[in-house]
Amino acid sequence: MGTIGVWLIGAQGSLASTVVVGARAIARGLAGRGALVTELAEVAKLPLAEFDRLVFGGWDVAPTGLLARARTMTHDDRALPPGLVDALADDLREVEARVRPGVVEGGGPATRALARSAFVGRRTSLAAAAERLGNDLDTFRRTHGLDTVVVVNLASTEPPIALGPEHQRLDRLRQAIQQNRTSRVTASMLYAYAALERGCPYVNFTPSVGIAPPALQELGVKHHVPFYGSDGKTGETLMKTVLAPLFRYRNLEVLSWEGFNILGGGDGRVLADPRHKRSKVRSKGGVIASTLGYAPHAGVAIEYVPSLGNWKTAWDYIHFRGFLGTKMTAQFIWEGCDSILAAPLVLDLVRLTEFAQRKGEAGPMPHLACFFKDPLGVSVHAFTEQVKMLLDYVERHARAARNGAKRRR
């Protein structure tokens, strides 16, 4: 195995910075491997890429650099251990130098306001922007002699878009790009298009539309690359998909499940705009009804509290009916550091996606459903059932490797 490129969309955000800090800290022996799913004994059977083989780059549209962001996360947010970012400052500067201007068109009002004029201009046509993005990936691959480049979307959440006929087939999507129909092709779609067109595996960790259009999935299959999404399952929704089966299998009727979230940081600021918030509410909202088999009253509220920085608190109130109709409640409070929860999962996804590509697999990767709030093509949301899909996948590969070794003997 040679070196693997990891190209982060939103490369200077809190999550992306934490991903880079984490990978470089592990590679340099400055941090342990706790919280990585790929380091569980059951999953570590796979020959996955080591952290010192990962080379990072990416796109962003904001002026704040990766190193400055990591420093803010250390000193203001108390999200990263003191001293770690200073110890890795040269590594972070190297990655920052590889961050290329992204596209803002279609990313929504809250992110357009962030973008610096030096980045790809609003008057650049979609076709020219797709070409430029694709060239960035090719240059990255060539310059560093990379075996592959895994592209991961970690950019701010876009407002949702209703998919239309132009999103259903690749020829129609290509036409929409050529005709510069900017209202129908969002930034996250254009990034996914550029990645898949250049044969790069793609993962959407955000609730933005990304890989959802069938036209883009057709492109991934055409170029024989694996892809998946969407929206990393890291906190409140993870708890929901663990707890909902409890109510289902004890035959306790859930009457209402209300979730109240407060968060700060760049994500919180963008989600404060109701147009952007709709994407997050939608991806968080689907898990309860599908696990219970019926739809109780289930609200999801998200509020921006700037002073929280990278920290998030969720309070969930579950009202349920027990034996003889008696009503009871369960409540939980989840207080987490957003990027610290998400970054190891992003690294897991990079390693598992690179492995899938190395094994010649293409198309959606349903075995990765346990990492997502809205897993592509998988209606099972119960966490342990999703984890079983991953473990079955690992076992299939481990068995094939054992049989291959026996045959060679």
Ligand X SMILES: NC(=O)c1ccc[n+]([C@@H]2O[C@H](COP(=O)([O-])OP(=O)(O)OC[C@H]3O[C@@H](n4cnc5c(N)ncnc54)[C@H](O)[C@@H]3O)[C@@H](O)[C@H]2O)c1
**Residues in touch with ligand X (CB under 6 A):** 9-10, 12-15, 59-62, 102-104, 107, 111, 114, 154-157, 187, 205-207, 231-232, 234, 265-267, 270, 338-339, 341-342
Under the phi-then-psi rule, with left for phi > 0, alpha for psi from -120 to 50, and beta for the rest, what region is 99?
A: beta
Residue type, 87: A
Residue whose CB is less far from ligand X, 340 or 365: 340
**Assigned token pair, 295:** 């739809």
User: Residue 53 Cβ, how far from ligand X at the closest point, in Å?
Assistant: 24
Residue whose CB is less far from ligand X, 104 or 151: 104
Residue whose CB is less far from ligand X, 296 or 336: 336
Pairing of strands 253-263, 363-364: unpaired
User: Residue 353 Cβ, how far from ligand X at the closest point, in Å?
Assistant: 17
Residue whose CB is less far from ligand X, 304 or 355: 304
Under the phi-then-psi rule, with left for phi > 0, alpha for psi from -120 to 50, and beta for the rest, what region is 108?
A: left
User: Residue 239 Cβ, how far from ligand X at the closest point, in Å?
Assistant: 13
Pairing of strands 253-263, 311-321: antiparallel
What's the number of CA atoms in the CB half-sphere (13 Å) around residue 126?
A: 23
Q: Say how far apart CA 122 and CA 115 lie, in whole Å.
A: 10
Alpha-helix runs per DSSP H in 146-186: 170-178
User: Residue 145 Cβ, how far from ligand X at the closest point, in Å?
Assistant: 26
Residue whose CB is less far from ligand X, 74 or 397: 74
Sheet containing strand 226-229, edge to edge, reads 99-101, 54-60, 4-9, 148-153, 202-204, 226-229, 363-364
Q: Would you state the torsion angle of the CA atoms of residues 17, 18, 20, 24, taken in this order, to the nearest 10 degrees?
A: 140
User: Residue 27 Cβ, how far from ligand X at the closest point, in Å?
Assistant: 21
User: Residue 297 Cβ, how far from ligand X at the closest point, in Å?
Assistant: 24
User: Residue 237 Cβ, how far from ligand X at the closest point, in Å?
Assistant: 9
Q: At 302, phi and psi to the nearest 5?
A: -130, 120
Residue whose CB is less far from ligand X, 254 or 341: 341
Q: Is 320 in contact with 255 (CB distance < 8 Å)? A: yes
Residue whose CB is less far from ligand X, 15 or 347: 15
User: Residue 364 Cβ, how far from ligand X at the closest point, in Å?
Assistant: 19
- CA 58 to the chain's CA centroid: 14
Residue whose CB is less far from ligand X, 257 or 311: 311
